[in-house]
Amino acid sequence: MSSAAKSGAPADQIEPYCSCFVGQLGALSTQEKMALDPSSPKIAAAVEACRPK
């Protein structure tokens, strides 16, 4: 959340985005989450799904 705030994202959009992002990856095990590459398709899909419309 702090990086979103530093980038100038509106405060009212940060929490819903973060909640959505965590929800998108919720089905993964802790091990899978820890091993995720930031450029992986799963991350890209979560970013796209949670992007404010």
Residue owning tokens 């802790």:
30
Q: Tell me the pTM.
A: 0.74
Domain residues of the chain, as ranges?
Answer: 12-50
Please answer whether residues 42 and 36 qualify as being in contact, where contact means their C-beta atoms are separated by less than 8 angstroms: yes
Question: What does the mean pLDDT of the chain come to?
Answer: 86
Q: Which two tokens stand for residue 44?
A: 């890209």
Positions of E strands within 1-53: none
pLDDT class of 11 with cuts at 50, 70, 90: confident
